[in-house]
Amino acid sequence: MHEVGNLVTREQALAYHADGRPGKIKITPTKPTETQEDLSLAYTPGVAEPCREIARDPELAFRYTAKGNLVAVISNGSAVLGLGNIGALAGKPVMEGKAVLFKRFADVDVFDIEIDTNSIAEFVRTVELIAPTFGGINLEDVRAPECFEIEGQLIERLDIPVFHDDQHGTAIISGAALINALTITGRNIEETRVVFSGAGAAGIGCARFYRDLGIRSENMLLCDSHGVIYRGRTMGMNPYKLEFARKTSARTLADALEGADVFAGLSQAGLMTADMVKRMAPNPIIFAMANPDPEISPDQVRQVRRDAIIATGRSDYPNQVNNVLGFPFIFRGALDVRARQINEPMKLAAAHALAELAARGKVVPQIVRDAYGNENFELGPNYIIPKPFDPRILTYVVPAVAQAAMDSGVARKKIDIVEYGQQLSKTAVVLSNM
């Protein structure tokens, strides 16, 4: 039997997806459909009126259709979770799961779309052709380095947000954790040395984002399956890795970690050893984020370093770096101001809002305490990022993203942030009861 994790078995997972109506999502009408008049309004002849209005002014699609609250989760299944290139159809359960998270945490509707191609040109053109349907595009589980080119081309061609969560989601959430971990350990971000294990979508995405947060380029080393990415290396290189090639004598992950302050693992289980942990600076920050199993377990770290701050991608350890803390709320804010893109100021705003929320741990709502065994949350080594079920994320992150979109000039709609926050508070109550 295949192992799924500590919380569920293979049989439970398959039954969850198969019992009753197959899958995890469905479409529900939002208008009455009980009478002949209702049907006449929903379809012909009444539907012709909003069609005429949209033909006259395309912006009215946001008023008369679901476009403004609809995101496409799009994948070709080339890099699905820890399963690799399993193809578009096999990746569909993950995309449906993403739709569930969008709806549960931010009331964003989703169509999941699986594209059966490994061609960058075909992928981009397909998304470009269907883009008028949506208010935003969430690219998911597309392998590197193709994902960088696909996202870049779509951002240039489309006037709605395009966001590759594998690149930016982990970067934003771990970035929030990094902000608080640096505060707890008393580090200056400009002097902090970071080593990345993994130079795919998540690794490159995190390196770029940490740089935007303030980590200096010369204080970052990236490692891939061939070792340290150093200046002059030719094996296994591409333009995205070359961006982070440094002049260094380090050649292995162990070499790179000598005296390092932060380890950011975005690779695979078991790559970090206890000896590597010993080599790091005092009060090391270890983000072992490989899923489902981290590069090193927190228990292994604790055996050799009691002074470490540790985060993983798992829910059964403290400080879970969970992308659900980001993408639903980032898209919610972007959609509500009709942003043309999700830019760096919006991503930074999300990370700082999450960090600030975790710093207010003493006032975590009781609903969150109940979900985690009445744990007493307070900013410290075991609490550097909020928990996914904290309803305040909606009212912290979403307004911050929306404000950043307006301030940076990518919003097509101006809103009153105070009133918006009040509306989101009401929405948070509803979502908490789902």
CATH of the domain at 112: 3.40.50.10380
Residue 4 inside a domain? The answer is: no
- At 419, list the tokens: 């009133």
Count of structural domains within the chain? 3
Residue 318 inside a domain? The answer is: no
Question: For residue 238, what is the DSSP state?
Answer: -
Residue 16 inside a domain? The answer is: no
For residues 361 and 414, state if they share a domain: yes
Last residue of a domain, one of 312, 341, 360: 312
CATH of the domain at 175: 3.40.50.720
Per-residue pLDDT tens digits for 399-423:
999 999 999 999 999 999 999 999 9
Last residue of a domain, one of 114, 131, 160: 160
For residues 60 and 94, state if they share a domain: yes
Residue 5 inside a domain? The answer is: no
Query: For position 432, what pLDDT does the model report?
Result: 83
Last residue of a domain, one of 312, 334, 366: 312
Per-residue pLDDT tens digits for 8-56:
899 999 999 999 999 999 999 999 999 999 999 999 999 999 999 999 9
**Dist CA 137 CA 135 (whole Å):** 7
Tell me the percentage of the chain whose pLDDT exceeds 90.
Answer: 91
- Please, is 434 exposed, middle or buried when counting C-beta atoms within 10 Å of its C-beta (0-12, 13-18, 19+)? exposed
Per-residue pLDDT tens digits for 109-152:
999 999 999 999 999 999 999 999 999 999 999 999 999 999 99
Tell me the percentage of the chain whose pLDDT exceeds 70.
Answer: 98
At 294, the amino acid letter reads P
Catalytic residues: 43, 98
Average pLDDT, the chain: 95
Query: For position 372, what pLDDT does the model report?
Result: 80
Per-residue pLDDT tens digits for 293-334:
999 999 999 999 999 999 999 988 999 999 999 999 999 999
Query: For position 136, what pLDDT does the model report?
Result: 98
Question: For residue 281, what is the DSSP state?
Answer: P
370 phi/psi in degrees, rounded to 5: -60, -40
For residues 372 and 290, state if they share a domain: no
Cα angle 161, 416, 363; round to 5: 90
- Range(s) of the domain holding residue 255: 168-312
- Please, is 54 exposed, middle or buried when counting C-beta atoms within 10 Å of its C-beta (0-12, 13-18, 19+)? middle
Residue 11 inside a domain? The answer is: no
**Dist CA 420 CA 406 (whole Å):** 13
Mean of pLDDT values over 210-231: 98
Cα angle 399, 402, 403; round to 5: 85
For residues 137 and 203, state if they share a domain: no
Cα angle 89, 94, 120; round to 5: 60
Per-residue pLDDT tens digits for 231-279:
999 999 999 999 999 999 999 999 999 999 999 999 999 999 999 999 9
- How many residues belong to the chain? 434
Query: For position 196, what pLDDT does the model report?
Result: 98
5, 14, 141, 316 from 10: Cα distances, Å: 9, 6, 22, 18
**Dist CA 332 CA 325 (whole Å):** 12
Query: For position 4, what pLDDT does the model report?
Result: 54
For residues 125 and 250, state if they share a domain: no
Query: For position 106, what pLDDT does the model report?
Result: 97
For residues 51 and 178, state if they share a domain: no
Three-class DSSP labels, 2-41: CCCCCCCCHHHHHHHHHCCCCCCCCCCCCCCCCCHHHHHH
Q: Is the pLDDT of residue 1 over 60?
A: no
